[in-house]
Amino acid sequence: PLETCGCVASMDKVNEHLTVWGTFQAPHAVRTVASLISGIPEHKIRIVSPDIGGGFGNKVGVYPGYICSIVASIVLGVPVKWIEDRIENLTATAFARDYHMKGEIAATGDGRITGLRCRVIADHGAFDACADPTKFPAGFFNICTGSYDIPVAHLTVDGVYTNKAPGGVAYRCSFRVTEASYFIERMIDVLARKLDMDPAELRMKNFIAKDQFPYSSALGWEYDSGDYHGAMEKALKAVDYDGLRAEQKANREAFARGETRRLMGIGVAFFTEIVGAGPIKNCDILGLGMFDSCEIRVHPTGSAIARLGTISQGQGHATTFAQILATEIGLPASQITVEEGDTDTAPYGLGTYGSRSTPVAGAATAMAGRKIRAKAQMIAAYLLEVHEDDLEWSVDRFQVKGTPERFKTMAELAFAAYNNVPPGMEPGLEAVSYYDPPNMTYPFGAYVCVVDVDVDTGVTDIRRFYALDDCGTRINPMIIEGQVHGGLTEALGIAMGQEIAYDEIGNVGGSSLLDYFLPTAVETPAWETDYTVTPSPHHPIGAKGVGESPNVGGVSAFSNAVNDAFAHLGLTHTQMPHDHWRVWKTAEKLGLTA
């Protein structure tokens, strides 16, 4: 993230109250850790996290700098500030994706996959700083069977310690799902080359069918819903896939005749992500169940405030959660305030990461809203002198069935809740919901990337990128579009240039943005976005989450495109990042450079 990690700790020795302001993705978890380490009772610690300038998983963990500032303030009795500079951020902040993956895939001659094996060496740096669920020290890498109906799979992950900065923090990938997706999507492409099949055709042959959902994968996950064939068919039609392959054939023939020095590559990728961590039965961090929460208070004048255990970092929570509530309780979104990030006022929650905000906190919001509406229905029945079952909900009001002219609006019921409730009912209109999801949610997507590679310079131009995402029920299309654009841009950076490199004595070689690839408008193509809608059957509003999906699917799409450009020359695989030098070296090894 552009904003580095940092905090200000202030210990009030008179009241024995500690306040910490910082860019935290999980404020309540930080409070619990601070209490455990300092011995200060949790109710005397206040953590305040504003709408932070980007997190991407990087700010979930509790860094030593946080603890040092807290201890210093306790000892000195004055506020103490700690904040990283850019060199410290790129050198010492927890890394992601230092995974070394080796796979084997078995298939019949006609392309039906029969088995998958994967061995991973995970570099965790000098010590384990994972913000992973306790039961999943390798994150959710066991989603590595992807979108395919693979009957048998085996996975081993060995964590190793090195003299690098701590690793293991996901970077916009929901606990190692980007790595898992990259693994299976590269394996599928390699298999397609070995079988002399089209990569899209091989994927279609092995997709989980729509009528197989809910689907239990070979490695233990239960996928909630999906229409993979429909999504891929829509994507291939949208980009004129057959036309692209015909153009590529002509390009290769022209290259062989010496008429061009550029090779065209087409990257196809299909991903299934696992988000919405998560069910307490199998997800916790530091022993804290990964539920989330929402507290709603409706005021007499018909406005409302909702407090949540998440924290926004650019996802538009104030808009999305207000829209969910507006639908559930019938008040205008403009009359609903969403408040997050202050542990003194917000109910306990596990924060924002892993695309869990809408799947978990959004569900809590909907459930709390339904509690509000249920109480309002009882008040409406009392005021209209009918039975509750004689009322029906319509947008912003309860009306009598068969006589819609008899109704009470939610604004009227809000006022009545404070002065005219049924006998025996407590006044007021408030509700709290703690939501423990019954399962993860499984968004998916089909991506197609078209590149042109200059074999003499290694420069790769992204000519076209089409991204189809299915995130279940779509709450705010504009926010979804922004999330997809941002995730694809980060995927571009990861696939095409980002690397923390070390010299022979262990110094970090890319510790500034002069050396570390940060995509700008110059390098970023115009994204073409599309969607299908397959609601999650177990989520209260059918939403699945979308924040990390474009990163998960985008990385393998870029990599597949670069590899595809050289595939006809015998290349099986070349590693990321696909910067100019590495691409040029690939061309050189194939004897293509001048």
Residues in the chain: 594
List of domains in the chain: 6-84 (3.30.365.10), 91-187 (3.30.365.10), 228-275+441-594 (3.30.365.10), 284-435 (3.30.365.10)
Q: Is 253 exposed, middle or buried (0-12, 13-18, 19+ CB in 10 A)?
A: exposed
CA distance 461 to 524: 10
Predicted TM-score of the model (pTM): 0.95
What does DSSP say about strands 460-470 and 527-531: parallel, antiparallel, or unpaired?
A: parallel
Bond prior to 359 in cis (omega within 30° of 0): no
The answer to whether the CB of 202 falls within 8 A of the CB of 191 is: yes
Residues of the chain with pLDDT under 70: 128-131, 168-170
Residue 548 annotated in active site: yes
**Is residue 398 helix, strand or coil?**
strand
CA torsion, ordered 65, 66, 72, 75, to nearest 10 deg: -150
What's the pLDDT tens digit per position in 555-578? Answer: 999 999 999 999 999 999 999 999
Q: Which residue out of 5, 7, 25, 307 is catalytically annotated?
A: 25
Tokens of 472: 């279940």
Task: State the Cα–Cα distance between residues 276 and 284, nearest whole angstrom.
Answer: 12
Distance CA 557, CA 537 (A): 29
Question: Which residues are CB-neighbours of 573 under 8 A, at least 6 positions away?
Answer: 186, 190, 563
Angle at 515 between CA 590 and CA 8, to 5 degrees: 145
The residues near 363 (Cβ < 8 Å, ≥ 6 apart) are: 292, 435, 437, 539, 540, 541, 543
* Active-site entry in 172, 193, 307, 397: 172
What is the three-class DSSP state of 94? coil
Q: Which of 185, 340, 490, 548 is catalytic?
A: 548
Q: Which of 5, 7, 118, 173 is catalytic?
A: 173
Q: Which residue has the tokens 């196809």?
A: 268
294 labelled catalytic: no
Q: Is 130 a catalytic residue?
A: no
pLDDT of residue 130: 63
CA distance 361 to 321: 9
What is the DSSP code string of 116-154? EEEEEEEE-TTS----S-TT-TTTTGGGTTTTB--S-EE
Residue type, 16: E
CB within 8 Å of 502: residues ≥ 6 apart: 164, 508, 509
Q: Work out whether the CA dihedral 172, 175, 176, 180 comes out positive or negative.
A: negative
What's the chain's Rg over C-alpha atoms? Answer: 26
Distance set, CA 524 to CA 266, 457, 461, 467, 558 (Å): 17, 19, 10, 14, 12
